[in-house]
Each structure stands twice: as C-alpha cells, then as structure tokens.
Amino acid sequence: MCGIVGYIGEKDAYPILIKGLHRLEYRGYDSAGVALLTDHQLNVYKCKGKVSKLEEHVVGKDISGTVGIAHTRWATHGEPNDVNAHPHFSQSEHIAIIHNGIIENYLSIKKELLNRNYKFKSDTDTEVLAFLIEDIKNSEGVSLAEAVRIALNQVIGAYGLVVISKDDPTEIIAARKGSPLVIGIGEKEFFVASDATPIVGYTKNVVYLADEEFAVLRKDGTFTIKTIKDQATTPYIEQLEMNLEALEKGGFPHFMLKEIYEQPRSIRDSLRGRLNVNKALVRLGGIADYEKKIMNAPRIIIVACGTSWHAGLVGEYLFEDLARIPVEVEYASEFRYRNPVINENDVVIAISQSGETADTLAAIELAKSKGATIIGICNVVGSSIARATQAGTYTHAGPEIGVASTKAFTAQITILTLMALQVAMAKGTLTKSKFHELLQELDAIPDKVQRVLERNKEIEALAAKFKDARNFLYLGRGYTFPVALEGALKLKEISYIHAEGYPAAEMKHGPIALIDENMPVVVIATQGPSYEKVVSNIQEVKARKGNIIAVVTEGDTQVKDLAKYVIEVPETDEHLAPLLSVIPLQLLSYHIAVMRGCNVDQPRNLAKSVTVE
Ligand code: G6P
C-alpha cells in the first residue's frame, strides 16, 4: 500500500526520492508524487499512474532542492487521480504533506474548516490534515513541529506522515501511529520511509518510530524525537540487516520468479540454527520462554490474512496432528469484529509476512486485551506485528517484493512445522523415532524443492496450454487442501483468471456442476493417507471430461493413467507435502500470468502490505 520517502541533507533530493519510490513500487499503488523544497520555493508534482509517469511529468520542470518528500498512493478516500495524489498542499501552499493511513474524523475537521472559508481541492483526508496544521500554525503562532503535534492530538485514525514547509526549509517532520515509519541516519543527512527498502542503499543506521512519536530532522544533522504528548524519548538506533542485492532482481525477469527460485535457500534460512538433525533437536529461541504455555494451552487460535491465512491452515493440521492441541484458524478481519470467546490460557499465533497488516494487528490487540498469549510469525524484522506480540519467530525468508507471496508462504509453513515439532516433543505426543524421521525429512526439503524447480520448463509448457482458460478449479485433501486454496489464490492474483480452491471431496457438493471439457482442474494427488480417496475424486472429474492437471509423487503410475497432465514432485512425509506441492502451482500461475501479459510483480488493485482494514 501507500509508500513514503523523505530526504533532508546536502544532496539533490529528487533522484533519491524517485529511486526510493521505485523501491516501494512493490507495495502496490495507483498514483505518485513528489514535493521539493529549496530555500524559498516549494514545488509539488504528482500524477495518476506509475512512478515512471511521474518522471515523464517532471521533465523540463524545476526539480532542484535538497529537501523533499515523495509518495505512492493506494486510493482509499477519493478515486486515484492527479488531484487526490500526494503530496497535498496546505491552503497557502506553504506546507506539503504525505500520509499513509486513514484520518477517521477528517469529515468533522473538514466541516469546521469549510465554515471558515477554507477551499479544498481533493477528496482526501490527507489534505484536511495539511489545512489543519496550517490553521494551527497561523492561529497559535507556533513552529511547524508544534503545529503538527497539536494537530495530531486532534485526529483519530492511523498515520505515517511527513511534513515540510517553505517557511522552515531546514527541517522535516515525520510522525507515526499505526502506520510504520523508519528514519535512516546518514552523515549530515536523514532519510524517512515507510519501510527500510529506500534507505538501505545509503545507511544501515535506522530508528523505527513508535506509535504516537514524531521526529524533527534538521539539515545540520541533528534530530529530536518526542511523543505527541510532548514527552522526549531516547531514540534507539538499530542496524539494518537487509542488503541491496536482496532488493534487486538478480537476473530474473520478475521478483516473483526470483523469489520462487529462492525457496531452497529461504527454507534453509528458516531452519538455520533451529533444526539440528544430528542432535535430534528443534529449538526456536524466540518462543523458548513460552514453550510450556503453548504446550498446556487448551486451544491455539491462528489469526492471519491472505496467503498467511493459508499457511495458518497448514499450521492447524500440524499442531492438531503432532502436538494434539485444538486449533482454530481465523481471518483476522472477521475475528476482530465478531466478539470471539478468548480465554487467558489461549495462545494466539499471528502470521504475517509484512508484519503490518492492519486487521491482523487489530486481532492481536483484541486477543491481548482478553489476556491471551500472543506469538508472532513475521518476515519483516522490527515490523509492527513483531513488536506487538509477546514472543515470536522471524521467518528469515528475506525481503519479499513480488505482491503475490511465495517464499514467505513456505517459510511460514517451515516455522509452523518447527513450532509444532518442538511443542510435540516437549509434550510427548510424538515418538522419538517419528520425531527424528520428520527432522530428517525437513532437513531434506530444500534439496527437494530444488528438484521441483528443475521442472520449470515442463510447467511453462503446461502454462501455454492453459493460458486462455477462464476458470480453474484446484483440489487438495488433508495437508494439501490449503495448498489448493493457495494455488487458486496465486492464479487469480496475478493472471486475473477466476480460480477456486476446494477440499477434493467437497467438490461433489457444488463445484462438480462446473466441470466440463473447458474446466482445468488442478489436483494435488501426492502419496499420503488420502491418496486413494483423491484418486477417486480424480475419477469423478474425469467422468465429467474435466481437464486434469495432477501434482503427483515421483514414480506414480495410478494417477498418470487418469490425468491428462502430471507434474512430479519428490516423495516426502505427508506433514511436509505442502512445501513441495505448492512450488509447481506457483510456477504455473507465474507462467500463465506472463503469457497473458500481466504485470506479475504489481498486479492490479493489490497491495503488498495492507495497512488499512
Ligand atoms: C496482501 C498481500 C498478500 C498477503 C496478505 C497478508 O493481500 O497481497 O500476499 O498474503 O496481504 O499479508 P501479510 O503481510 O500479513 O502476510
């Protein structure tokens, strides 16, 4: 969703800001803009469309200035157009602001300002905030920073924002509540961004603003951070672990393909230091203090959205099966509003790649208020969810840039497997031999994923046959049912083909009515306890002339005789089947989307990090 970049220092701001916006493109957006400040002038340029469009738009215009802010907007209030794009000017055009989040009481503030003859240009909540800041600054005769602080005490809602003014050309103000902001500290220069990706090329020293904090960053290299209640805070400077290479495509045509191919490495990174096969040990340091709590929990509630929710479903099977703990998997957006029964002994596991998903964050706060223990599984280090949870484990998949989640999904499942195994062993619900066998299998997964990737050409050829299909059905059973959901989600997200995932046996209660020779049906039919049952489901599809693409275990003969197309994956234990069977589905979606000319990394209307509910 919306992206923020800001710069103050001695260099030209424009190239830094534009490069930063390009780095943030992965978040998903529909318009872009930039404000540049010289000693006496504040220029704003903005337009609907991509950052490249903004670059064309500024050709021939004055882009000088060593202070500036820039934004990519994902529309919430008001359609995506030039006027609603950020930055927004204040009435006098002395102040410019960029903002992520939503000001919930903007209409009442706007009404009051309208009564005093203020004239608004856009439909946004952000412009109201710019006007309010100016109104306070003028009426109370205070500094820009103080005006921002007072204004923020009047607004209800969420914000990550940056403000500059031509009356104060030597400082920029950044503030946060519910929408992340990172400050990069360089040599007599500062960077501000909604995540660390625009900053990493310049400095490793960063400060993550906490909720209700605001920072004043000055051109002379000094800065202060206070709360909006005017209390000084001591900034905690952290070192970024991210490297630039991880943010580039590294020779791949798209981030998504690069990230699919990274999975042998990213799964290995998720396991690193946590799995020791020789010593038959699993140890997730982040939850060590909570092991007993989880072990004795009467119930685990998993909250997540999107792909992370699918990983949560796999987690349900793992925890129930291995550790014998009842699990409920909840869409965070539903959970937060339906007055759920949460008890003090419940353990809530929140899963999120970005660590910023608004609904998941709200679900955590709700569960926390009821006294439950909250464990996080996040990919982005230092993210809001990672900080809101009592304990947790990072997935260590590395930055995921493609909007469609791939390596984060397999990393989340890897962590859930480790967690379930650790708890199962502590609880004694698993025999030593089964535990050891699973550890060995888990250790072998990265190499097996590599073997699936080697079938890329085969899968690409298959994609060519199905690229014009209008609908797809995905079927799985047991551990591979969530994989069917994930396969369908991948396809619709990036190729815009309608696709549904279903439990294979449930098909006969509805979707079977859709099956004819035009309906491709992807069935995950790998070896496992439900194999024979899935074969029967394949028979049912075949009897109705469905076009079957089956994912099978290497050496399979039975399904090969029935299905028109098969993709083989190496044999593994059924508990780990999702880690292998999802790979061909990711590749299939990828190739179909490319062949249909879709923007794979930035699919229409989607955002990487959904910071509004
Ligand atoms: C968005 C992304 C999905 C992601 C979901 C949850 O919809 O496009 O890829 O699965 O949000 O995000 P999270 O960061 O919480 O895993």
pLDDT confidence of residue 311: 98
Secondary structure percentages of the chain, helix, strand, coil, to 5: 40, 25, 35
- Distance from chain centroid for Cα 368: 22
Distance CA 515, CA 357 (A): 36
Amino acid sitting at position 496: Y
Nearest CA to ligand 1 atom 15: 352
DSSP bridge partners of 522: 474, 549
pLDDT of residue 312: 98
At residue 1, does pLDDT exceed 80?
Answer: no
Q: What are phi and psi of 73, to 5 degrees?
A: -110, 135
By three-state DSSP, how is residue 299 classified? coil
pLDDT per residue as tens digits for the range 459-509: 999 999 999 999 999 999 999 999 999 999 999 999 999 999 999 999 989
Pocket probe mutation, ligand 1, options 74, 609, 611, max atoms within 8 Å of Cβ: 609
List the single range of 73-77, 123-127, 228-232, 362-366 with lowest mean pLDDT.
73-77
Question: What pLDDT was estimated at residue 490?
Answer: 98
- 8 A C-beta contact, residue 585 and residue 490: yes
| Residue in 291, 318, 565, 558 with CA at minimum distance from that of residue 420 | 318
CB under 6 Å to ligand 1: residues?
305-308, 352-354, 357, 360, 403, 405, 606, 608-610
| Cα(393) to centroid(ligand 1), Å | 18
DSSP string, 483-547: HHHHHHHHHHHHH--EEEEEEGGGGGGTGGGG-STT-EEEEEE-SSTTHHHHHHHHHHHHHTT-E
Question: 28-71 pLDDT, tens per residue?
Answer: 889 999 999 998 899 999 999 999 999 999 999 999 999 999 99
Give the pLDDT confidence score for residue 194 in this predicted structure. 94
Q: 372 vs 178, 256, 290, 386, CA distance in Å?
A: 21, 36, 12, 16
Q: Is the pLDDT of residue 377 over 80?
A: yes
Distance 433 CA to ligand 1 centre (A): 37
Kindly report the backbone phi and psi dihedral angles of residue 228, in degrees, each rounded to the nearest multiple of 5, phi listed first.
-70, -5
Identify the residue whose C-alpha is closest to ligand 1 atom 7: 306
For residues 451-455, give the mean pLDDT.
98
3-state secondary structure of 100: strand
Higher pLDDT among residues 174 and 398, named by residue: 174
* Contact indicator for 391, 375 with CB cutoff of 8 Å: yes
CA–CA distance, 442 with 114 (Å, rounded to integer) = 63
Q: Check pLDDT > 90 for residue 332.
A: yes
Phi, psi of 571 (to 5 degrees): -70, 145
Q: What is the DSSP string of 350-382?
A: EEESSS--HHHHHHHHHHHHTT-EEEEEESSTT
Report the length, in residues, of the chain.
613
Atom of ligand 1 nearest to the CA of 493: 8
Q: What's residue 247's pLDDT?
A: 81
Reported as a single tens digit per residue, the pLDDT across 109-166 is: 999 999 999 999 999 999 999 999 999 999 999 999 999 999 999 999 989 999 999 9
pLDDT given for residue 93 in this prediction: 97
Angle formed at CA 486 by CA 562 and CA 582, multiple of 5 degrees: 60
| Contacts with 150 (C-beta within 8 Å, 6 or more apart), sequence order | 136, 140, 142
pLDDT at 573: 97
Q: What is the DSSP letter of 221?
A: S
At residue 201, the pLDDT reads 93
Q: Report which residue type is found at 527.
A: Q
Cβ atoms of residues 607 and 1 within 8 Å? yes
Q: How confident is the model at residue 612 (pLDDT cuts 50, 70, 90)?
A: confident
Tokens 């359609």 map to which residue?
79
The reported pTM is 0.84
Pocket test for ligand 1, best of 305, 310, 407 (most atoms within 8 A of CB): 305
pLDDT range class, residue 315, cuts 50, 70, 90: very high
User: How big is the chain by its Cα radius of gyration, in Å?
Assistant: 26
Whole-angstrom distance, CA of residue 124 vs CA of residue 109: 12
- Which residue did the predictor score with more confidence, 508 or 14? 14
pLDDT of residue 392: 95
CA of residue 520 to ligand 1 center, whole Å: 26
Tell me the average pLDDT of the chain: 95
User: What pLDDT score does 316 carry?
Assistant: 98
Residue linked to tokens 């025999």: 431
CA atoms of 164 and 69, how far apart (whole Å): 8
* Best CA proximity match to 17, nearest among 219, 217, 244, 192: 192
Amino acid occupying residue 371: G
Percent residues over pLDDT 70 in the chain: 100
Q: How far away, in angstroms, is 378 Cα from ligand 1 center?
A: 11
Q: Which residues are catalytic?
A: 2, 608
Nearest to 349 by CA among 327, 324, 317: 327
Instruction: Work out the widest C-alpha separation in the chain, in whole angstroms.
Output: 81
